[in-house]
Amino acid sequence: MEVVIAPADELARLAADAVERLVRTKPDAVLGLATGSSPLKVYDELARRHAEDGLSFAGARAFMLDEYVGLPAEHPERYRNVIEKEIASRVDFAPGAVQGPDGLAEDLPTACAAYERAIVDAGGVDLQILGIGTDGHIAFNEPGSSLASRTRIKTLTQQTREDNARFFDDDIDKVPHHCLTQGLATIMSARHLVLLATGKGKAEAVHQLAEGAVSALWPATIMQMHPHATVLVDDAAASRLQLAGYYRQTFASKPGWQGL
Ligand code: GLP
């Protein structure tokens, strides 16, 4: 696992560089898109590069990590709509190229299985962008999630619903209780994981992710088992890292030509 500690704008540029490098060498790449505030600067940077540098996603496809169950199709916080607003509508994905789990399906388990198949049929995800919850969840794999899980229905924890209430008029009662989420094994099947975390609120989760024992209690720790995982954190999110000095030294001495 590579841990990079840098200011948020630089982290966003590094993540965008990895996406750009992938899409320019493999125009039909499959991206994994995350919601939440953590990737927003990356999406801004990708949109800028699309507008100013001709970075094109016309041949690419993308799969979302998760979705709330039951939010009406037009609800602004439905993740499908969030992704449309934050990135899909700002670049040139072909119609239908961005897919997400269907939180409005009548038969949710069947929709989850279909989503797993769609990812496999697309050849798997090349680069998965991730955030992390304060309780160590990735996508919506809450503490206690099976480390071998696939896309399924999950119940959100009180902590996650409190954290996400800010997107629902600060009213926790408006935050759905259930979601569909790619499982930890689904995420682990992606060929490159790029996780972003900023702010002190993420410090403990980041410490566990990089340095804790692999455990369902901190689901993101499964990333320690991934052959190509990159963790991009600012100083505040890095504040509990035991090996922060070593991570800084390693990145500072990395050859410039070598991407993430
Ligand atoms: C949400 C999303 C996750 C996201 C996490 C952190 O619950 N389902 O994909 O990574 O919370 O969100 P943020 O980046 O806003 O802190």
What pLDDT is attached to residue 251?
Answer: 95
Taking only the tens place, the pLDDT of each residue in 55-100 is 999 999 999 999 999 999 999 999 999 999 999 999 999 999 999 9
Which atom belonging to ligand 1 lies closest to the Cα atom of 35? 9
Residue 259 reports pLDDT greater than 90: no
**pLDDT tier, 150 (very low <50, low <70, confident <90, very high otherwise):** very high
Q: Indicate whether 123 pLDDT > 90.
A: yes
Using the mean position of ligand 1's atoms as its centre, give its distance from the Cα of residue 131 in Å. Answer: 5
Q: What is the DSSP letter of 157?
A: P
Contact 186, 160 (CB under 8 A): no
On the question of pLDDT at 114 being above 90, the answer is yes
Identify the pLDDT of residue 122.
Answer: 98
Question: In angstroms, what is the span from residue 65 Cα to ligand 1's centroid?
Answer: 10
**Per-residue DSSP letter, 87:** T
Burial of 245 (0-12, 13-18, 19+ CB in 10 A): exposed
Residue 3's nearest CA partner among 258, 205, 246 is 246
User: Ligand 1: which residue has its CA nearest to atom 5?
Assistant: 133
Atom 10 (ligand 1): residue with closest C-alpha? Answer: 131
Which among 132, 134, 172, 198 is the best mutation to test ligand 1's pocket, defined by most ligand atoms within 8 Å of the CB? 132
Q: Which ligand 1 atom is nearest residue 140's CA? A: 8
Q: What is the gyration radius of the CA atoms in the chain, in angstroms?
A: 17
Average pLDDT over residues 111-129: 98
At residue 256, does pLDDT exceed 90?
no
Q: Which atom of ligand 1 is nearest to the CA of 139?
A: 9
Q: Which of 11, 33, 35, 187 to mutate to test the pocket of ligand 1 (most atoms within 8 A of CB)?
A: 35
Counting from 1 in the atom list of ligand 1, the atom nearest the Cα of 131 is 10
Nearest CA to ligand 1 atom 12: 36
Ligand 1 centroid distance, CA of 109 (Å): 23
Q: What's the rounded mean pLDDT across residues 193-222?
A: 98
Q: Which residues pair with 3 in a beta bridge?
A: 231
Distance 253 CA to ligand 1 centre (A): 31
Give the contacts of 120 (CB within 8 A, at least 6 positions apart): none
Q: Which residues are catalytic?
A: 66, 135, 137, 142
